[in-house]
Structures are given as C-alpha cells and as structure tokens.
Amino acid sequence: MTVWAPAVDVRETNDEIQVTAELPGLAPEDVSVTVENGVLTISGVKKQEVQEGKEESNYYLYERRYGRFERSFSLPRMVNAEQEKERFDNRVLTVALPKAEPAKPIVPPKVAFYDMPDMVVNIQSPDGSPAYLKLGVSLELKSDKEEAGLKVVMPRIVDQFQSYLRELRVDDLRGSESVMRLKEELLRRINVAAKPYSVEDVLLKEMIVQ
C-alpha cells in the first residue's frame, strides 16, 4: 500500500471552527475524529479494492493511493468538543466545532478590613488568681463604605466586646472549638451593636491568656 493523505480545509466562522476533508473511496465507518487538548485528529484507512476471481492486471498508470492516514491540526481557538457535529456527504467529511465561551475574569471580592483597638480584660481563672486576656481583632466589611459608619458606633461595639469577654473563664478559651465559638459570639454581638451597619467576619489577630 502507498501512504496517502486527504486534502483538508480549516475555516473559522463567528460561532464555530469548521474542518472539511475530502475522503473519496471511504465510508463513515472507516473514519475516526477526535479532539483533545485543542488538537483535532482525523484518521482512518482507505482500503485497496480487490476483485476476486479475476486475473491480475498490469497497470500502465497507477496514481490512486491507499492505506492508513492521520491528519492533526491545532485549532485556532478553544472549542467545545462535547458539542462536535460531523456530516459525511458525497465523500466529504465536515466537522463543526462550536467555540467555547471565553473564561470570565476572576473579580476579587470588594471587601475591607478594619482593625479594632486591642483590648485587655480580666477573666476568671479556676483557682481565683488574676488572669488576663489580650485580644486583637480585625473586622471584615462588605466594602470600605461601611468603615466610616462603623467608626461612629465603635464605642458601643467595644462595650459589647468587653462585657462579654469579662464573663469568660480561662477554660473557655482552650482548643480550636472554643476559639470558633468565641468568634461566632463576637460576630453576633458586633452585628447587634453596629446596626444598621454589617460585619461579615471577625478575624483574630492576637489572643493571649495569662
């Protein structure tokens, strides 16, 4: 067999990439089309015709080609391979590949952070000896527009924090679960005190118990 390669056209429309290949002498089941990593591959086998029972002929001219073929093309744009459509008409294969929608740029969330003044309060120890908690927190806000309003009500927020922190015992601050409960309660109390403004999260910058 003599290796051959079909002629192929690749064109781009507004909505898709179209690949057209001339495949004379082939049936649809003789051809395979794959798309992987932005590369389209058309492959198959063109079989030589054999007529049984006839004497072997001598060729004066032999230009037709037979054998296995494979053509690969890097597609000019990312396509949606799952929506590929194939049409085999008059020995011409047409592959239509819809263009994939461009990836939307990642837009970082518009948040702002406000650092509250550090607080030092007395807390309860198991043996009644003096114990202190130093706490530094940062407040996550929806936008920097919330910050101005939050500063106005900050005295009310600090009072809420200190009243709650003074009720704590040393054992209430041990372990990761205790810290999570502390953050949840601080967030609840700050949103009560900060109305009509809203705080998204309370971030612990520093927590020292001694």
**pLDDT tens sequence across 123-144:** 888 887 888 889 999 999 888 7
Q: Is residue 1 situated within a structural domain? A: no
Q: What average pLDDT does this structure show over 32-52? A: 79
- The answer to the question of residue 3 being in a domain is no
Q: Which residues of the chain form beta strands (DSSP E)?
A: 8-12, 16-22, 31-36, 39-46, 67-74, 85-89, 92-98, 112-115, 119-123, 131-141, 201-209
Q: Is 67 helix (H, G, I), strand (E, B) or coil?
A: strand
Q: How far is CA 148 from CA 89, 108, 113, 138, 151, in A?
A: 70, 22, 12, 15, 5
Q: What percent of the chain has pLDDT over 70?
A: 89
Residues 116 and 205 in one domain: yes
Residue 157 in domain? yes
116 and 192 housed in the same domain: yes
Q: How far apart are CA 210 and CA 191, in angstroms?
A: 29
What are the tokens at 84? 């590929």
Q: What is the CATH number of the domain that holds 79?
A: 2.60.40.790
Does this model's pTM top 0.75? Answer: no
Residues forming a β-bridge with 113: 140
73, 126: one domain:
no
Specify whether 163 is located in the same domain as 185. yes
Q: Which domain holds residue 62?
A: 8-98
Same domain? 84 vs 146: no
In terms of Cβ atoms closer than 10 Å to its own Cβ (0-12, 13-18, 19+), residue 106 is exposed
The answer as to whether 2 is a domain residue is no
SS3 147: helix
Q: Please give the Cα distance from 201 to 199 (Å, whole number).
A: 6
Report yes or no on 179 lying in a domain. yes
pLDDT tens-place string over residues 177-197: 888 988 999 999 888 888 888
For the chain, the domain total comes to: 2
**Is 129 part of a structural domain of the chain?**
yes
Q: Considering the chain, what is the average pLDDT of its residues?
A: 83
In a domain, 58, yes or no: yes
| Mean pLDDT of the region 38-48 | 83
Q: Could you tell me if residue 24 is inside a domain?
A: yes
Read off the CATH number of the domain in which 202 is found: 3.30.479.30
